[in-house]
Structure 1
Amino acid sequence: MKIYLVGGSIRDRLLGFPVHDRDWVVVGSTPEKMLKKKYQQVGRDFPVFIHPKTHEEYALARTEKKHGFGYTGFLFNFSPKITLKDDLIRRDLTINAMAQDNYGNIIDFFNGKRDLKKRVLRHVSSSFQEDPLRVLRVARFAATLSHLGFYIAKKTLFLMKLICMRKELLYLTPERVWNETKKGLCSRNPHIYFQVLHSCNALIYLFPEISFFYKKSFLCHFFMNQKNFLRYSFFELSRVSRVTNNLDIRFAYFLQFISQIYSISKLNIKNYFFYEKPVLLVKSLCRRLKVPKETQKIAIFLCGFHNFLQMIELQSSELIVNFFNIIDAWRKPDRLNKLIYLNFYYKDDLKNLKKNITLGKLLKSMFSIIKNISINSFVNKNLFKGIEIKNELYRLRVKALNIWRNK
């Protein structure tokens, strides 16, 4: 029995990144032998075991044969005759297909070290196309490593397009798609994740709402001479990713510009407060991918209130207090903190806007004026009961905000 360190830990160490997780491959062993050595088996029919002391994962060397559709349609062979090379050839990228023995020697059958130096993301073998999840994984690696100059090899991108053309992505579960997307959003350059998925035609299957945003933005820009809101979207995702790792913020700031692909009738003025039509796209995406509730909420708020917030200087204090009520800013102040990075994106439309003030800072300043107004602010608490308390709080908050805004 021989044990090798494999995969991402070797890649990260060679790139100078900190190593957080280590994976191991065991060659020449059986489940029975592993259990005798006190390893704990993860799944009854899957050859992955947990080390009794380090709790790291040790997988028996195995081969995979496609048998069906999607990422689950595989037959596994993990007999003790499977070699290290047999195991490594089934992996996605050459930079992830290196191993290290007990003496620290790097075993590199597929030129992973060369591709690290060349900064190229290259598939190991033609079996790459058998697992549709690899389309998302490669997009995620591109987003994670693009700052180092990494790019996707042409043949690898061709195989990604082939997977999409065969509609294999439709067999991925929502949980898998969101898990990879979450990692992509938390990467160094998350906008690259979506750009790669667009380049291999994956968006239409994974994120039809974002694909629609792509097409509509293109048409509005080139045929109706409107702003390129897709560019705004990618720029904002890139910008905010440099100042925060928060998933809710990155996701919501990216999707907020979907509101701009629908025109608003001046006769339907209520839509300047909360615009429901683009929010339907965001809700559809979030529900299908089972996005966490709070992440959904922030994305819905920013998309629906986008027009209102961009023109907040022109809005009434009544509507502004309504906005704070709807986002539940008093009970959930963290929601307001997630808006702190918002900008005024269309400054040409705002004539009286003070220089160097951002939308996020303005919202925080406005809320600071009214956040401490409570029942204790009443001159005579006994005069109000039930709904009257709510109405009086609203009146006092609107009054205070008006006084502050008129100074």
Structure 2
Amino acid sequence: MKTYLVGGAVRDELLNRPVTEKDWVVTGATEQMMLERGFTRVGKDFPVFLHPQTKDEHALARLERKTGKGYTGFVCEAGPEVTLEEDLQRRDLTINAMAKDSNGQIIDPYQGQQDLADRTLRHVSAAFSEDPLRIFRVARFAARYHLVGFTVAPETEQLMQQMAATGMLSELTAERVWQETRRAVMEDQGSVFFGVLNSAHSLNDWFPELTPFTPERVKPLKLACKDNAELPTRMACLTGLMSPDEASALVKRLKCPNPVSELAELAAHYCPALLSSPDPRQLLDIFNRCDAWRRPDRFNLLHQVTGYIGKAQLINWPAAIILQAHQHASAVDVQQIIAAGHKGAQIKMALENARLQVIEKILSN
């Protein structure tokens, strides 16, 4: 029974990057042997155990055999007869198919260290093509390591194109695609994710709204990533250049969480209007439709998204004035309107007029 550190921890250690989590592979062991040593089983589809002290995940060395469609269409075979090299061979990229033993020696049967040196993302074996999710994983790694020079190997890009041509990406669940997308856009170079998918002919199934693809489509996202913006802001930087129908279709297809979906759809509806230097009446209507009075933080995010899109498109728009108009109009006190004798529907009308007057004054300065 031997234990090896594997995957991302080895890769990032060799790249001198922070190691955020550690995964281990155990060879020569059975499930009973792990349980006897105090490990707790947590894997449902294959034998994964938590270490009794560190709680790190330890998996028995395993083989996987494709038996059906989709991410779950595999049969796992684990046991003491499976070798470390066989376990590593089923992994996606060579840089993820390395291990380190208890003496610190690197086991690298598929030349992952060479690909690290060459800054190359290369698939380990033909088994890569059995799992369509790996296309998104490669694109995500390309985004993560773009700044240190990593690119996708030509043969891997060609294989990804062949996989996409079969239609197998449609077999994936929205939850899995969103998980990869979320992690990718939160990278420092999140926009690279979509460029790699485009090169792999892999946008049509899940991101048809980004086709035909050009670098300008993701430039606002690139700016948001540079500023370390929040996830909803980054996604809205994509949808702000779409029609409202396209934005709605995208967030529904991906089953995005509500904060992401809401801002994404608002961006598609109102970023173009904000960038067009609206007059006071139009601006008041935008504030009302965005529920900017009760949800100022969300409006501020929409304003931020508009700024990235405007900067990307070199549009000179009154960003500071619009924000100032919102802040001053929000300060109109409805209690004073009620105290002035307005009742019922008159209150709403008087409040609208008061806010409009404030906005007119701000925009005229």
Under TM normalisation by the shorter chain, which class is it?
over 0.9
Q: Partner residue of 2:276?
A: 311
Contact 1:122-1:156 at 8 Å conserved across structures = yes
CA distance in 1, matches of 2:283, 2:250: 28
Q: Given the alignment, which residue of 388, 401, 404 partners 2:346?
A: 388
Flag the 1:97–1:340 CA change in 2: closer, same or farther, 3 A.
Answer: same
Q: Secondary structure at the match of 2:76?
A: strand
Q: Partner residue of 2:330?
A: 371
Q: Partner residue of 1:340?
A: 304
Contact 1:11-1:95 at 8 Å conserved across structures = yes
Contact 2:324-2:362 at 8 Å conserved across structures = no
- How far 1:89 sits from its partner (Å)? 0.6
Contact 1:340-1:360 at 8 Å conserved across structures = no
- How far 1:210 sits from its partner (Å)? 2.1
Deviates more, 1:68-77 or 1:42-51: 42-51
Structure 2 residue identity aligned to 1:362:
I
**Residue 292 of structure 2 is aligned to residue 329 of structure 1:** yes
Q: How many residues align?
A: 362
Deviates more, 1:78-87 or 1:68-77: 68-77
CA distance in 1, matches of 2:42, 2:189: 33
Which portions of structure 1, spanning 4 or more consecutive aligned residues, are displaced by more than 4 angstroms?
A: 345-349
The equivalences for 1:116-265 within 5 A come to: 116-211=116-211, 213-214=212-213, 230-258=214-242
Q: Secondary structure at the match of 1:342?
A: helix
Flag the 1:30–1:135 CA change in 2: closer, same or farther, 3 A.
Answer: same
- How far 1:172 sits from its partner (Å)? 0.4
Structure 2 residue identity aligned to 1:300:
E
CA distance in 1, matches of 2:244, 2:102: 55
- How far 1:346 sits from its partner (Å)? 9.1
The equivalences for 1:290-309 within 5 A come to: 290-309=255-274
* 1:29-78 alpha-carbon deviations (Å, 9 max, x no partner): 11122222222211344211112222221111001111122221111110
Contact 1:373-1:397 at 8 Å conserved across structures = yes
- How far 1:209 sits from its partner (Å)? 2.4
- How far 1:9 sits from its partner (Å)? 1.0
Q: Secondary structure at the match of 1:205?
A: coil
What is the alpha-carbon root mean square deviation over aligned residues? 1.9
Q: Partner residue of 1:219?
A: none
Q: Secondary structure at the match of 1:190?
A: coil
Contact 2:170-2:205 at 8 Å conserved across structures = yes
CA distance in 2, matches of 1:291, 1:359: 31
Structure 2 gaps, min length 5? none
Flag the 1:56–1:386 CA change in 2: closer, same or farther, 3 A.
Answer: farther
Flag the 1:231–1:150 CA change in 2: closer, same or farther, 3 A.
Answer: closer
Q: Partner residue of 1:32?
A: 32
Deviates more, 1:113-122 or 1:303-312: 303-312
Q: Secondary structure at the match of 1:58?
A: strand
Flag the 1:388–1:232 CA change in 2: closer, same or farther, 3 A.
Answer: farther
CA distance in 1, matches of 2:234, 2:321: 20
* 1:209-242 alpha-carbon deviations (Å, 9 max, x no partner): 223x53xxxxxxxxxxxxxxx4432222112210
Flag the 1:99–1:405 CA change in 2: closer, same or farther, 3 A.
Answer: same
Q: Partner residue of 2:321?
A: 362
Structure 1 gaps, min length 5? 215-229, 259-277
Q: Secondary structure at the match of 1:52?
A: coil
Contact 2:210-2:217 at 8 Å conserved across structures = no
Q: Partner residue of 1:283?
A: 248
Q: Percent identity?
A: 38
- How far 1:25 sits from its partner (Å)? 0.6
TM-score by length of 1: 0.84
Q: Given the alignment, which residue of 262, 283, 297 partners 1:320?
A: 283
Contact 1:341-1:360 at 8 Å conserved across structures = no
* 1:113-153 alpha-carbon deviations (Å, 9 max, x no partner): 11111000011111111111100000011111111111111
CA distance in 1, matches of 2:41, 2:226: 41
Structure 2 residue identity aligned to 1:235:
K
- How far 1:325 sits from its partner (Å)? 2.1
CA distance in 1, matches of 2:151, 2:138: 10
- How far 1:196 sits from its partner (Å)? 0.9
